[in-house]
C-alpha cells in the first residue's frame, strides 16, 4: 500500500516510525514532514491547505490511503475532499471534526445523548455570560468555542478571574474562536487521556495516557500543548476503561451516526475521573501530541491495518495488542515557550536510538546540513521500561545527551505515576 501521512510534529514522527515498520507498506510519503520523519518516509512539498492538490498528488503517485495527523486539516474538510476523490482516509469528515472544532457542539451532543460532562451554557454576548458566571460562582471554567491551540480555556478559581476571562474572549483574545463562549462547571479529579479508534459504527479501544500541560515542574506556569506524557494512565483501571466505553465513547459513536455525521478516525477523550466516575472534558479528533509518541512505543500490533480498518468500516475485523511496559516521553522545547522564542538555534547532538528509547522530532529543520530548532516544542525523548520510574530514568538519561543550548524541559514528567509506584 502507498500511504501519505499529513503533518510535521512529534505525533507524526511517531506515526511515521510505526507505519514504516508495516510489511503491508510499499511507500510512505509525508507532507510536509520534518527531518525525523525523513528517516522513515519520503517528504513531499505539498501545500496541505490545498486539499485538491493533495488529492491530485495521491492520484498521480498511486497513493490509496491518507493518514491525517493534526486537527486543522480535518476541521477544514481535507478528509471529505480526499474521500470524494476515492481515496481512503484515516480521519473524520469536517462535520464529525466539530467534536474538536466546536466545544459547544460537543456539549450539545453530551446533553442530547446523556454523556457525563460538566453542566454548561453557551453564550454569544459578554453581559449574559457574566451574569451566568456571577450566578454560578467560582471555581468555574471559561472556554472559547473554537480552535485556540489549547489556549482558549481558563480554569478560574475566583470570580474576578472568571469575569476577566469572559471579557478576554469577547474582546478578541482568541479571534473568531472566542466569538462564542462556553461556561462550564469545574470538575474535580484526576485527568486522563483515552484513545479509541472508530469506523463510524464500531470502536476499538486503544490505550490511555497522562499529559503534563503546564510548562513548569510541579504543574506550574502557563498551559502548553503538552510537556510530556506517559502511558498507561494508572487511573484508567480496567473498570474505568469499561465505564468510559459504555458511558462516553459508545453513546458518542451512536449519537454522531444518528445525527448524520458518523465519526471515523481516532477519538481522543480528555477525561476527568471524578468521585462519580469518568466525565468528559473535551474531545479531540486526532491523536494527542505527545501522547501518540508513548502509545506508538507501546503498540505491538502493525499500525497500518488497524488505521486502514478504521478508515474503511472494518474495525470489527482487527485488534490491537500492547506491551504492558509503560512508556514515557519528555518534551524539549525552545527557551521561552509557550511565549516567544528564538528560531533556528542549532541542535548539535542527539542520543542514538535503541530498542528501549527513541527521539521523535517535532519542531526541527535542516539548514545547510545543520539540525536546528524551528518550533516551540522541538524534540520528544521517549523510553519504554518495566516501570514508569525506570522509563523516566531512561528518558532523562537519553535527554541529557542532547546538545542544544536553547532547549529546556520539565524534570518531573511522570511524577504522579512514580509516586504511586513508590506508595
User: Which residues of this protein are in contact with ligand GLY, per CB under 6 A?
Assistant: 150, 211, 225-226, 284, 288-289, 291
| The residue count for the chain | 423
186 binds, among ligand GLY, ligand AMP, none (CB under 5 to 8 A by kind): ligand AMP
Q: Which of 270, 277, 313, 351 binds ligand AMP (CB under 6 A)?
A: 270
CB of residue 291 to ligand GLY, shortest distance in Å? 6
CB of residue 270 to ligand GLY, shortest distance in Å? 8
Site string for ligand AMP, 196-225 (x = CB under 6 A): -----------------x------------
279 binds, among ligand AMP, ligand GLY, none (CB under 5 to 8 A by kind): none
3-state SS track over the chain? CEEEEEECCHHHHHHHHHHCCCCCCCEEEEEECCCCHHHCCEECCCCCCCHHHHHHHHHHHCCCEEEECCHHHHHCCHHHHHHHCCCEEECCCCCCCHHHHCHHHHHHHHHHHCCCECCEEEECCHHHHHHHHHHHCCCEEEEECCCCCCCCEEEECCHHHHHHHHHHHHCCCCHHHHCCEEEEECCCCEEEEEEEEEECCCEEEEEEEEECCEEECCCEEEECCCCEEEECCCCCCHHHHHHHHHHHHHHHHHHHHHCCCCCEEEEEEEEEEECCEEEEEEEECCCCCCHHHHHHHHECCCHHHHHHHHHCCCHHHCCCCECCCCEEEEEEEECCCCCCCCCCEECCECCCCECCEEEEECCEEEECCEEEECCCEEEEEEEECCCHHHHHHHHHHHHCCCECCCEECCCCCCHHHHHHHHC
Closer by beta carbon to ligand GLY, 17 or else 29: 17
Binding segment (CB under 6 A) for ligand AMP, from list 72-80, 184-192, 291-299, 366-374? 184-192
Binding segment (CB under 6 A) for ligand AMP, from list 25-33, 85-93, 182-190, 402-410? 182-190
118 binds, among ligand AMP, ligand GLY, none (CB under 5 to 8 A by kind): ligand AMP
- The verdict on 153 binding ligand AMP (CB under 6 A) reads yes
CB of residue 266 to ligand GLY, shortest distance in Å? 11
Closer by beta carbon to ligand GLY, 22 or else 224: 224
Q: Do β-strands 42-43 and 264-274 pair in parallel, antiparallel, or remain unpaired?
A: unpaired
Could you tell me which of 141, 152, 153 has the C-alpha nearest to residue 177? Answer: 152
Binding segment (CB under 6 A) for ligand AMP, from list 147-155, 292-300, 327-335, 359-367? 147-155
**Cell numbers found for residue 347:** 541542535
Closer by beta carbon to ligand GLY, 153 or else 169: 153
Q: Which of 3, 141, 162, 381 binds ligand AMP (CB under 6 A)?
A: 141
Q: Which of 57, 113, 132, 186 binds ligand AMP (CB under 6 A)?
A: 186
- Residues in region 280-299 near ligand AMP by CB under 6 A: 281-282
CB of residue 225 to ligand GLY, shortest distance in Å? 6
Burial 286-304 (b: 16+ CB within 10 A, else e): bbbbbbbbbbbbbbeebbb
Closer by beta carbon to ligand GLY, 252 or else 293: 293
- The verdict on 350 binding ligand AMP (CB under 6 A) reads no
- The verdict on 421 binding ligand AMP (CB under 6 A) reads no
Q: Which of 6, 74, 144, 187 binds ligand AMP (CB under 6 A)?
A: 187
225 binds, among ligand GLY, ligand AMP, none (CB under 5 to 8 A by kind): ligand GLY
Centroid of chain to Cα 238? 22
CA of 69: how far to CAs of 11, 30, 202, 373, in Å?
7, 10, 21, 21
291 binds, among ligand GLY, ligand AMP, none (CB under 5 to 8 A by kind): ligand GLY
Closer by beta carbon to ligand GLY, 137 or else 150: 150
CB of residue 9 to ligand AMP, shortest distance in Å? 17
Q: Rounded CA gap, 286 and 264, in Å?
A: 10
Closer by beta carbon to ligand GLY, 55 or else 229: 229
Q: Which of 9, 36, 73, 118 binds ligand AMP (CB under 6 A)?
A: 118
Summarize as ranges the residues that interact with ligand AMP (CB under 6 A): 118, 141, 143, 150, 153, 155, 184, 186-187, 191, 213, 270, 281-282
Amino acid at each position: 500500500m502507498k500511504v501519505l501521512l499529513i503533518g510535521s510534529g512529534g505525533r507524526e514522527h511517531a506515526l511515521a516510525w510505526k507505519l514504516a515498520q508495516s510489511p503491508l507498506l510499499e511507500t510512505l510519503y509525508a507532507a510536509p514532514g520534518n527531518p525525523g520523519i525523513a528517516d522513515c518516509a519520503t517528504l513531499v512539498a505539498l501545500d496541505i491547505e490545498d486539499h485538491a492538490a493533495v488529492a491530485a498528488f495521491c492520484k498521480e503517485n498511486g497513493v490509496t490511503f491518507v493518514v491525517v495527523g493534526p486537527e486543522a486539516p480535518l476541521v477544514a474538510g481535507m478528509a471529505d475532499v480526499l474521500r470524494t476523490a476515492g481515496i481512503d482516509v484515516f480521519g473524520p469528515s469536517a462535520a464529525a471534526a466539530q467534536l474538536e472544532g466546536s466545544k459547544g457542539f460537543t456539549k450539545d451532543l453530551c446533553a442530547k445523548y446523556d454523556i457525563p460532562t460538566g453542566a454548561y451554557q453557551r453564550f454569544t454576548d459578554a453581559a449574559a455570560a457574566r451574569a451566568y458566571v456571577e450566578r454560578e460562582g467560582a471555581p468555574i471554567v471559561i472556554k472559547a468555542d473554537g480552535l485556540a491551540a489549547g489556549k482558549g480555556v481558563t480554569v478560574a478559581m475566583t470570580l474576578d478571574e472568571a469575569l476577566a476571562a469572559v471579557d478576554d474572549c469577547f474582546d478578541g483574545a482568541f479571534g473568531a474562536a472566542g466569538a462564542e463562549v462556553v461556561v462550564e462547571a469545574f470538575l474535580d479529579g484526576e485527568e486522563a487521556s483515552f484513545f479509541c479508534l472508530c469506523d463510524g459504527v464500531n470502536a476499538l479501544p486503544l490505550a490511555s495516557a497522562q499529559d503534563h500541560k503546564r510548562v513548569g515542574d510541579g504543574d506550574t506556569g502557563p498551559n502548553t500543548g503538552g510537556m510530556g506524557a506517559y502511558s498507561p494512565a494508572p487511573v484508567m483501571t480496567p473498570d474505568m476503561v469499561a465505564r468510559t466505553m459504555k458511558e462516553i465513547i459508545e453513546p458518542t459513536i451512536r449519537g454522531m451516526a444518528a445525527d448524520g455525521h458518523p465519526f471515523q478516525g481516532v477519538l481522543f477523550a480528555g477525561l476527568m475521573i471524578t468521585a462519580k466516575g469518568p466525565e468528559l472534558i473535551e474531545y479531540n479528533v486526532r491523536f494527542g501530541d505527545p501522547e501518540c509518541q508513548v502509545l506508538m512505543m507501546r503498540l505491538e500490533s502493525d499500525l497500518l491495518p488497524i488505521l486502514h480498518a478504521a478508515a474503511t468500516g472494518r474495525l470489527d475485523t482487527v485488534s490491537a495488542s500492547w506491551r504492558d511496559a509503560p512508556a514515557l516521553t519528555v518534551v524539549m522545547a525552545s527557551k521561552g515557550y509557550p511565549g516567544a522564542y528564538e528560531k533556528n538555534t542549532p541542535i548539535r547532538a542527539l542520543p542514538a536510538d535503541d530498542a528501549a528509547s527513541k527521539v521523535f522530532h517535532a519542531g526541527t529543520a535542516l539548514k545547510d546540513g545543520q539540525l536546528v530548532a524551528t518550533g516551540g516544542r522541538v524534540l520528544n525523548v521517549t523510553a519504554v521500561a518495566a516501570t514508569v520510574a525506570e522509563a523516566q530514568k531512561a528518558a532523562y538519561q537519553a535527554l541529557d545527551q542532547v546538545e542544544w543550548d536553547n532547549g529546556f524541559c520539565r524534570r518531573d514528567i511522570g511524577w504522579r505515576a512514580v509516586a504511586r509506584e513508590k506508595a
